[in-house]
Amino acid sequence: AQSVTQPDIHITVSEGASLELRCNYSYGATPYLFWYVQSPGQGLQLLLKYFSGDTLVQGIKGFEAEFKRSQSSFNLRKPSVHWSDAAEYFCACRYGGATNKLIFGTGTLLAVQP
Amino acid sequence: DVKVTQSSRYLVKRTGEKVFLECVQDMDHENMFWYRQDPGLGLRLIYFSYDVKMKEKGDIPEGYSVSREKKERFSLILESASTNQTSMYLCASHRVRGYYEQYFGPGTRLTVT
């Protein structure tokens, strides 16, 4: 079955440190890939997306993600984390074909230490 | 900017009540979705709609129904609320062409007592 895996449930980083959140998907072809962020009590906001082309994509709030076909991964990165980045992050995939559905990972909760 | 609004941010209902959650989007999107979000389980799709009066079951439709009488509005109905339906409910929409990114509302936190 198609799936999205975020292996880290909870991550804590210090403010100013770099960040990498992991995401793996199971699919033979290239899916549409997304990263969303959810602040406490809020809906999800799109950070960035990938379908084709340059495998390093830039998003909002200084985030970027790299698609690696060989590893079936789409990891999210930020060079220097700010306290306001504390939130939950979700990776999602839309697989090809007629479906319009996204499959979401279970999320990674990011805490930022001062 | 796309705007997706949900009728209530917080809702408390009693077991057995009929509950309506409303979602409205203002960007003429064809597709609309209802998810529930629970800790450790991520987002799970309840129902989605790809056109007015058209709907399709998602992964966890049991205990829920939906209605889409107008393109901009998608309602989730809990026919007889139960305590295991206490959750955060998120509505989303997207247009058919493009990258298919979904735009989300702020969510409704429903508590069934």
* Yes or no, beta carbons of A94 and B45 under 8 Å apart: no
Question: Rounded distance, CA B102 to CA B61, Å?
Answer: 20
Encoded tokens for B7? 């009728």
A45-59, A81-95, B44-58, B95-109 — which is least confidently predicted? B95-109
The three-class DSSP label of residue B84 is helix
Residue-wise pLDDT for B5-46, tens only, equals 999 999 999 999 999 999 999 988 999 999 999 988 889 999
For residues B36 and B81, the answer to whether their CB atoms sit within 8 Å is: no
Residue-wise pLDDT for A1-39, tens only, equals 778 999 999 999 999 999 999 999 987 677 889 999 999
What are the φ/ψ torsions at residue B99 (nearest 5 degrees)? -85, -5
Mean pLDDT for chain A overall: 91
Instruction: Name the residue ranges covered by the structural domains of chain A.
Output: 4-113
The three-class DSSP label of residue B49 is strand
Q: How many helices (H) and strands (E) does chain A have?
A: 0, 12
Three-state helix/strand/coil letters over A22-72: CCEECCCCCCEEEEEEECCCCCEEEEEEECCCCCEEECHHHCEEEEEHHHC
Q: Does B96 touch chain A (CB under 8 A)?
A: yes
What integer is the mean pLDDT of A43-56?
Answer: 91
* Nearest CB to B99; choose among A51, A105, A107: A51
Instruction: Name the residue ranges covered by the structural domains of chain B.
Output: 4-96
Which of A45, A102, A109 to probe by mutation at the B interface, max B CB count within 10 Å?
Answer: A102
Given a cut of 90, whether residue A46 has pLDDT beyond it is yes
Residues of A within 8 A of B94 (CB-CB) are 100
What are the φ/ψ torsions at residue B36 (nearest 5 degrees)? -120, 145
- What's the CATH number for A4-113? 2.60.40.10
Distances (CA, A) of B27 to A25, A59, B109, B110: 30, 22, 24, 26
Q: Does B31 touch chain A (CB under 8 A)?
A: yes
Shortest distance between the Cα of B71 and any Cα of chain A, in A, equals 17
Architecture of domain B4-96: Sandwich (2.60)
Residue-wise pLDDT for B59-110, tens only, equals 999 999 999 999 999 999 999 999 999 999 999 998 877 777 899 999 999 9
